[in-house]
Amino acid sequence: MHNKTVAELSKGLAAGEYSSVELTQHFLTRIAEQDTTINSFITVCENEALSEAKAADEKISAGDATPWTGIPFAHKDIFCTQGVKTSCGSKMLDNFIPPYDATVTSNFKQQGAVCLGKTNMDEFAMGSSNESSYYGKVTNPWGENLVPGGSSGGSAAAVAARLTPAATATDTGGSIRQPSALCGVTGLKPTYGRVSRYGMIAFASSLDQGGPIARTAEDAAMMLNVMASYDKRDSTCIEREVPDYTSTLNNSIEGMNIGLPKEFFSDKLDAKMQQQVQNAVKEIEKLGANIKEISLPHTELSVPAYYIIAPAECSANLSRFDGVRYGHRCDNPKDLEDLYMRSRTEGFGDEVKRRILVGAYALSAGFYDAYYRKAQQVRRLIKNDFTSAFKDVDLIIGPTTPSPAFGFNSKGADPTAMYLEDIFTISTNLAGLPGMSIPGGMVNGLPVGLQLIGNYFDESRLLNVSHQFQKVTDWHNKTPTNCR
Ligand code: GLN
C-alpha cells in the first residue's frame, strides 16, 4: 500500500479495497519501524490518526467522501495543529500546543484527511540541510550519511521513504523545492498569496509560502486543491478562484514556449547535473514544447538580497518569542531583562540567533539604506527580469540545486557555503512566483531535481508539464536505496 500514490489510494478507499483504519495503521507501523533512523517525524499522532481514520471510514460508507477522505498525510511542524505540539523545530516551542488550527490544517480536516503526525524541519525553517533542528538531523533515505535538504527535509524524507503518501511544507527561499530535489520527490511552491499563511509560523512574511510535497505531480495537484483557498485572516492571501488543478494535467503541451536561463547553466552547476537537466529538457521538447535560451541577468544577486531581507523580517517576526506569553521561559528570572535574555538565549539555536543579529543590524537606523533598502531595490530588478522573460516564454526550466544531496557537516564552518544551495530557488521567492521541483535524473545514484518556474498563478501549467513529463519518464518512481 505504501508504494501507491494519493490518487491510487483514493480510488482504493472508494472501491473498498482497504479501509482508512487499515491504511493508517500500515503507515503508522512503517513510521514506528523505520523512522528511528530517518527521524523525519517530530510528533506521531497515533491515537488522533486512528480516530480520524475511523471517522473517515464512516463517511466513506455513508457515501459522503471527498477524494481526501481517509487519506493519511503529514504536516510540516510549522503548521499549527489544535491540541498537537507545533515546535517549528525549535526548543523555543517545544512546549507549545496551539489552541487553534492553521487554515491549511483546517482545510485538510474539512476534507476528512488523516494526519499521521508532524514532520521534522530546520529550526524556524532556516536552513538547507535539516541539521539545525532541535530534534536532531533527518537522514536522506538515499544514503544515511546524506542530508535530506531543508528546511522541509522531514516532509521530503518521509515521502521518499514511503512513511507518508504526501506532506505539507513551506518555502521561503527553496525549502520545498530543494529537499524535494535531494530526496527525489515532487514539490511545489505556489504563487505568494495562493495558500493562506494563517497559523503557519512566520519566518520571513513577504517570502513564506506553504505548498505540497508528494511523489507525483498528480498528487501535488490534489494537495494544492485543498491547500489553496482565500482566507481573510491572511491579508496577503489573494481572493481568486481556485481552479481544479487535476483537471488540466492531461492538456497537451505542444507549442508551449519554454525558456532556459543561461545563468542557471553556469559553472555554479555540477557538470553531471547539467547533463541530466539537458536530457530532461530534451524529453520535454519531444512532447512538443519549443525551447529557447533566455536571460535572468540578476540571478547572482538573489542570494545576497535574500540574506538581508529574510533575516530582517525574521528579526521582527521572532521578537514575539520573549518568554512571556508562550514558548520557552528560563528558570527563576532576576528581572524582566533577564527573562527576555535568558529565555531567548536558551530557546534559540545558533543559526536562528545569527539571522536575528544580521536582520536587526540591517534594519538599524544607520544601516537601513545601505542594506535593507538596497536589497529591496535588487528584489525589484529580479522581479523585472522575470516579467520580461515571461513576455517571450510560458515557463522557465532549469536545475533546482547546484549538486545532488551532500554529506552531513560538509558545508564546514562557513554558514554562507550553505546559503549557496538556494542559488537557483531564491529568485522565485523574491519575485513571488510559483516554482516546482520534480525528479529529473540521477547522478552517482542520487536524484536530480528539475525546476519549473511559472508566471503568477500559473500553477496549473507547472503541474500539467510535470505530469506530462512523469507520464514518459520513470525518475519519480525510483525507490530510495534505504527504503524497505
Ligand atoms: N535555505 C533557505 C534559508 O535558510 C531557505 C529556507 C526556506 O525556504 N525556509 O533561509
DSSP string covering 252-312: --TT-EEEEEGGGGSTTS-HHHHHHHHHHHHHHHHTT-EEEEE--TTGGGHHHHHHHHHHH
pLDDT digits (tens, 9 = 90+) for 414-431: 778 888 889 999 999 999
pLDDT tier for residue 475 given thresholds of 50, 70 and 90: very high
Is residue 482 scored above 90 in pLDDT? no
State if residue 437 touches ligand 1 by the CB under 6 angstroms criterion: no
151, 196, 403, 437: which is the annotated catalytic residue?
151
Please report where in the chains the cell 535538504 appears, as a residue. 149
The torsion defined by the Cα of 341, 344, 346 and 347, in degrees rounded to 10, comes to 170
* Residue 84 per-residue DSSP state: B
Cα distance between residue 416 and residue 1, in whole Å: 42
Amino acid identity, position 146: L
State if residue 302 touches ligand 1 by the CB under 6 angstroms criterion: no
Q: How far is the CA of 200 from the centre of ligand 1 (A)?
A: 15
Is residue 43 scored above 90 in pLDDT? yes
Rounded mean pLDDT of 468-475? 98
Active site annotation includes 175: yes
State if residue 147 touches ligand 1 by the CB under 6 angstroms criterion: no
Q: Whose CA is nearest to atom 5 of ligand 1?
A: 173
State if residue 151 touches ligand 1 by the CB under 6 angstroms criterion: yes
Q: Is 168 in contact with 147 (CB distance < 8 Å)? A: no
Q: H or E element: which one contains 97?
A: none
State if residue 131 touches ligand 1 by the CB under 6 angstroms criterion: no
pLDDT tier for residue 290 given thresholds of 50, 70 and 90: very high
pLDDT tier for residue 155 given thresholds of 50, 70 and 90: very high
pLDDT tier for residue 68 given thresholds of 50, 70 and 90: very high
Residue 263: C-alpha distances to residues 177, 184, 295, 458 (Å): 19, 24, 7, 23
Q: Is 455 in contact with 440 (CB distance < 8 Å)? A: no
Backbone angles phi, psi at 9, to 5 degrees: -65, -40
Active site annotation includes 155: no
Q: How far is the CA of 213 from the centre of ligand 1 (A)?
A: 16
pLDDT of amino acid 413? 74
Q: How far is the CA of 44 from the centre of ligand 1 (A)?
A: 25
pLDDT tier for residue 478 given thresholds of 50, 70 and 90: very high
pLDDT of amino acid 231? 97
Rounded mean pLDDT of 314-343? 97
Side by side, the strands of the sheet bearing 290-294 are 41-44, 114-119, 72-76, 166-171, 209-214, 186-189, 435-443, 446-454, 395-399, 257-261, 290-294
Q: Is 376 in contact with 120 (CB distance < 8 Å)? A: no
pLDDT of amino acid 14? 97
Q: Whose CA is nearest to atom 10 of ligand 1?
A: 126
Return the ligand 1 atom nearest residue 171 CA.
8
Of 128, 206, 307, 354, the residue with max ligand 1 atoms within 8 A of its CB, to mutate for a pocket test, comes to 128
20, 90, 106, 175: which is the annotated catalytic residue?
175
Q: Please measure the distance between the N-terminal and C-terminal CA atoms of the chain and give it in whole angstroms.
A: 13
All 3 cell numbers of residue 465? 508539464
Return the ligand 1 atom nearest residue 307 CA.
10
Task: Work out the percent of the chain whose per-residue pLDDT is above 90.
Answer: 95
β-partners of residue 396 are 259, 453
State if residue 81 touches ligand 1 by the CB under 6 angstroms criterion: no
pLDDT tier for residue 471 given thresholds of 50, 70 and 90: very high
10, 20, 40, 76: which is the annotated catalytic residue?
76
Is residue 484 scored above 90 in pLDDT? no
* Higher pLDDT pick, 318 / 267: 318
The domain segmentation of the chain, as residue ranges, is 6-256+392-483
Domain 6-256+392-483 has CATH 1.10.287.3610: no
State if residue 172 touches ligand 1 by the CB under 6 angstroms criterion: yes
- Other Cβ atoms closer than 10 A to 206: 16
pTM, entire model = 0.98
Is residue 105 scored above 90 in pLDDT? yes
Averaged confidence pLDDT in the chain: 97
> HEC string of 387-429?
HHHHHHCCEEEEECCCCCCCECCCCCCCHHHHHHHHCCCHHHH
All 3 cell numbers of residue 95? 512546549
Q: Is 75 in contact with 81 (CB distance < 8 Å)? A: yes
> How would you class 320 by CB atoms within 10 Å of its CB: exposed for 0-12, middle for 13-18, buried for 19 or more?
exposed
